[in-house]
Amino acid sequence: MPRTNGSVVGTQVEDTRICVVMVGLPARGKSLIAGKIVRYLRWLSVDARSFNVGTYRRQDTPQPTADFFDTSNKEGERMRRAAAEAAVKDMLKWFSQEKGTVAILDATNSTRARRRWIAETVSAHKIEVMFVESKCDDEDLIMGNIMEVKTTSPDYRGQDPEVAARDFRDRIRNYEKVYETITETDYTYVKLINVGTQVVINCIQDYLQSRIVYFLMNLHIKPRSIWLSRHGESMFNLEGKIGGDADLSPRGMRYAEVLPELCRQSGILPEQGITVWTSTLKRTIQTSQHLPYNKLQWKALDELDSGTCDGLTYEDIEEQFPEDFRARDDDKYNYRYRGGESYRDLVIRLEPIIMEMERQENVMVVTHQAVIRCIYAYFMNVPQDRSPWMEIPLHTVIKLTPKAYGTKEERFKANIPAVSTFRPKYSSAKHQEADSPDVNELSVKMNV
């Protein structure tokens, strides 16, 4: 399978391979950061995978006590080293056999000796090594992580939470005895101090590394939510036409009127600082007109460009361009409209939006069907073969709340009917009337 990072990220050289090595004491959010890097890169079509050394260690030692992590425990040391070796071996196999591009080695890697061993072993295979250290002295953040670990880690499954928390603190103390922060100036590294507060960068070598660094620089872990809504039903939606710059229909106008109340019910408080982002197209601007918040228009949030098909219905396209119609159903993510865009193109256009969303706290985005699918796919980790086929109904607010290990999703529907613009794969090109939902019907789910 050809590697795609060259074509997608732009100027990346074809054969770049990077091993991102996490560094830091337990409960510093390393696995969370590793997971976010993987999600971001996969969304950009860069083949990325995390190798968690704890998972390898658990094969032999599923529920060790804190003494196992004491460096004077020779057997513990041997087994921990064996787990790291097994993870690195699998990672190298993934690079060579599955042609992976970015691997994350998720472990504490907290001593100079361990880092030297990894750097030497990995660079011998012509794979770049980049250390990412998470350093944190904010007691609240650490406590939050300890609570998370003791309730979710398989190391403590079935144990009394108080005993688990005490043992986990002892484990941290054992690591603290030997922990050496990164100061090796000949290595490429990024040191994140209290995530989102201070970043130290050393010897970044190329484009893909700099993308990862930039992403890490924008991360923060303050609690916040993201609200997504399509514009209200448009005149084009009513007629089944795609693209264009139509006004809202009378029902779409009613959605715009109830949107402030729907937002309030979904948890946006009037005194809360929130910015509403729209596209530059009339239907999103009209939809947000009654929202009493600061607004910002982004060209990057405009709908997928349907090129020569702009203004046609799906039936017209099926009739006038039958081969294109079929090709789009065969591979909707990669299909590029003649003179227009594909979902793959749209993701690249949306990358600065995602970066900015990571940086922001509460934000509401009023945009279009295809654009919401791409943003939603990023936050909810939806693969490319499914993301263009997701149902994103009109007149519905989707609230996403990032949590430590997943994103919580809630949907709030307005009691205003609208057409459905969803057309399932290989189905006849007809648009239908959507069911009239109950007032503010709510659904909640978590992706983990």
Ligand X SMILES: O=P(O)(O)OC[C@H]1O[C@@](CO)(OP(=O)(O)O)[C@@H](O)[C@@H]1O
Q: How far apart are CA 8 and CA 24, in angstroms?
A: 31
Looking at the Cβ atoms of 16 and 306, the one nearer to ligand X is: 306
Binding of ligand X at residue 237 (CB under 6 A)?
yes
- Give the H or E element holding residue 226: strand 226-230
> Least distance to ligand X from the beta carbon of 234, Å?
6
The single-letter code of the amino acid at 262 is L
Contact 125, 95 (CB under 8 A): yes
Give the contacts of 160 (CB within 8 A, at least 6 positions apart): none
- Choose one: 130-138, 231-239, 353-361, 440-448; the region binding ligand X (CB under 6 A): 231-239
Looking at the Cβ atoms of 50 and 284, the one nearer to ligand X is: 284
Structure token pair of residue 306:
């349907």
106: annotated active-site residue: yes
> Least distance to ligand X from the beta carbon of 304, Å?
5
- Choose one: 92-100, 148-156, 237-245, 395-403; the region binding ligand X (CB under 6 A): 237-245
Annotated catalytic residue: which of 155, 167, 302, 303? 303
231 annotated to bind ligand: yes
381 annotated to bind ligand: no
Name the residue whose CB lies closest to ligand X.
368
> Least distance to ligand X from the beta carbon of 438, Å?
23
Contact 324, 317 (CB under 8 A): yes
- Judged by CB under 6 A, the chain residues 332 through 391 that form the site for ligand X are 368-370, 388
> Least distance to ligand X from the beta carbon of 46, Å?
23
235 annotated to bind ligand: yes
Q: How far apart are CA 69 and CA 79, in angstroms?
A: 10
Binding of ligand X at residue 242 (CB under 6 A)?
yes
Q: Residue written as tokens 């804190």?
A: 66
Looking at the Cβ atoms of 40 and 236, the one nearer to ligand X is: 236
- Judged by CB under 6 A, the chain residues 304 through 323 that form the site for ligand X are 304, 306
> Least distance to ligand X from the beta carbon of 401, Å?
25
Q: Is the dihedral of CA 68, 140, 138, 448 positive or negative?
A: positive
Q: x/- site string to ligand X, residues 386 to 425, per CB under 6 A?
A: --x--------------------------------x----
Looking at the Cβ atoms of 76 and 243, the one nearer to ligand X is: 243
Q: How far apart are CA 411 and CA 179, in angstroms?
A: 45
> Least distance to ligand X from the beta carbon of 251, Å?
13
236 annotated to bind ligand: yes
Binding of ligand X at residue 256 (CB under 6 A)?
no
What does each C-alpha distance from 67 to 26, 63, 112, 169, 377 come to in angstroms? 15, 12, 22, 12, 42
Number of shown-chain residues binding ligand X (CB under 6 A): 13
- 368 SS3 class: coil
Annotated catalytic residue: which of 47, 167, 231, 368? 231
Please measure the distance between the N-terminal and C-terminal CA atoms of the chain and give it in whole angstroms.
28
What does each C-alpha distance from 129 to 112, 178, 265 come to in angstroms? 14, 22, 48
- Beta-strand pair 432-433/396-403: unpaired
What does each C-alpha distance from 66 to 76, 174, 351, 385 come to in angstroms? 10, 8, 42, 44
- What would you measure as the largest C-alpha separation in the chain, in angstroms? 75
- For 130, phi then psi, to 5°, come to -135, 120
Looking at the Cβ atoms of 49 and 368, the one nearer to ligand X is: 368
283 annotated to bind ligand: yes
Binding of ligand X at residue 52 (CB under 6 A)?
no
148: annotated active-site residue: no
231: annotated active-site residue: yes
237 annotated to bind ligand: yes
Where is the binding site for substrate, in residues? 230-237, 283
The footprint of ligand X (CB under 6 A) covers 234, 236-237, 242-243, 303-304, 306, 368-370, 388, 421
Q: What are the residue numbers of the active site?
A: 106, 231, 303
